[in-house]
Amino acid sequence: MNRSCKKNIFLKYIVLAVSCICFSIIPVWAQIHIIPQPLHLTAQKGNFILTSKAIIGVDQQSEAVGTYLQNYLTQYYKLNLKLKVYPHVPTTVAIKLVSNNSKGAQGAYTLSVAPGSVNISGNGAGVFYGVQSLIELLPASIIKPLKITACKIADEPRFQWRGLSLDVCRHFFTVDEVKKYIDIMAHYKLNVLHWHLTDDEGWRIQIDKYPRLTEVGAKVALYAKEGKFRKLDNLIDGGNDGFYTKAEIRDVIKYAQDRFVTILPEIEMPGHSEAAIFAYPELGCQDSTGAKHRVRMLDPSEHTFNFLEDVLTEVIGLFPNQYIHIGGDEAEMIDWLKSPTAVTLMKKEGLKDEKGVQSYFIKRIEKFLISKNKKLVGWDEILQGGLAESATVMSWQGEAGGIAAAKMHHHVVMTPLPYMYFDAPQANEELEPIGWNPPVTWQMVYNYEPQSSQLTPAEAAYILGAQGNIWTEKIPNAPHLEYMVYPRALAIAELSWSTKENKDIDRFDYKMKQQYGLFKLWDLNARLPDIVGVDHIATNKEQFKTTLKYPLLGARLRYTLDGKMPDDKIQSVPFPVTINVPLRESLTLKTYTTWTLNSQHIMQTANIRRININAAKENITNLKPGLSYKLIKTKEINYAKLDTITPAITAVINTANPMVLPVTDGDITWVKMNGFIKIDQEGDYEFTSGFELSPALFIDNEPLMIKDKNTYVEPQKAILHLKKDIYEFSGYYSADDANSKQTLFQLKTADGKLLDPQTYLFHL
Q: In whole angstroms, give the CA distance from residue 660 to residue 666.
A: 16
Q: In whole angstroms, give the CA distance from residue 631 to residue 745.
A: 18
- Catalytic residue selected from 171, 187, 196, 272: 272
Q: Name 300's Cβ contacts closer than 8 Å, sequence gap at least 6.
A: 270, 336, 339, 341, 342, 345, 357, 360, 361
Q: In whole angstroms, give the CA distance from residue 516 to residue 503.
A: 21
Q: In whole angstroms, give the CA distance from residue 534 to residue 549.
A: 9
Q: In whole angstroms, give the CA distance from residue 390 to residue 381.
A: 15
Q: In whole angstroms, give the CA distance from residue 548 to residue 608.
A: 14
Q: Which of 194, 313, 351, 330 is nearest to 271 (CA)?
A: 330
Q: In whole angstroms, give the CA distance from residue 435 to residue 438.
A: 8
Cis link prior to 487 (omega < 30° from 0)?
A: yes
Single-letter residue type at 725: D
* Residue 706 C-alpha from the chain's centroid: 25
Q: Which of 186, 207, 189 is nearest to 197 (CA)?
A: 207
Q: Are 379 and 398 in contact (CB under 8 A)?
A: no
Dihedral sign for Cα atoms in the order 39, 518, 25, 717: negative
Q: How many residues does the chain have?
A: 764
Burial string for 213-227 (b: 16+ CB within 10 Å, else e) reads bbebbbbbbebbeee
Return the SS3 of 337: helix
Q: 392-395 and 375-379: which strand pairing?
A: parallel
Please calculate the CA angle 421-425-431 and round it to the nearest 5 degrees: 180
- Catalytic residue selected from 59, 155, 156, 199: 199
Q: Are 745 and 756 in contact (CB under 8 A)?
A: no
Q: Are 210 and 311 in contact (CB under 8 A)?
A: yes
Q: In whole angstroms, give the CA distance from residue 427 to residue 656.
A: 32
Q: Are 729 and 677 in contact (CB under 8 A)?
A: yes
> Is residue 330 annotated as part of the catalytic site, yes or no?
yes
- Catalytic residue selected from 330, 429, 449, 684: 330
Single-letter residue type at 152: K
Q: 725-735 and 95-99: which strand pairing?
A: unpaired
Q: In whole angstroms, give the CA distance from residue 377 to residue 392.
A: 5
Q: Which of 364, 360, 363, 359 is nearest to 384 (CA)?
A: 359
Q: In whole angstroms, give the CA distance from residue 289 to residue 499.
A: 56
* Residue 110 C-alpha from the chain's centroid: 28
Could you give phi then psi for residue 368, rounded to 5 degrees? -65, -45
Q: In whole angstroms, give the CA distance from residue 727 to residue 709.
A: 25
Angle between helices 302-318 and 354-371 in degrees, nearest 10: 40
Q: Are 128 and 61 in contact (CB under 8 A)?
A: no
In 51-126 the beta strands, taken as DSSP E runs, fall at: 55-58, 82-85, 95-99, 109-114, 117-122
Q: Which of 169, 239, 178 is nearest to 200 (CA)?
A: 169
Q: In whole angstroms, give the CA distance from residue 253 to residue 179.
A: 9
Q: In whole angstroms, give the CA distance from residue 252 to residue 258.
A: 10
Q: In whole angstroms, give the CA distance from residue 302 to residue 291.
A: 23
Residue 694 per-residue DSSP state: P
Residues designated as active site: 199, 272, 330
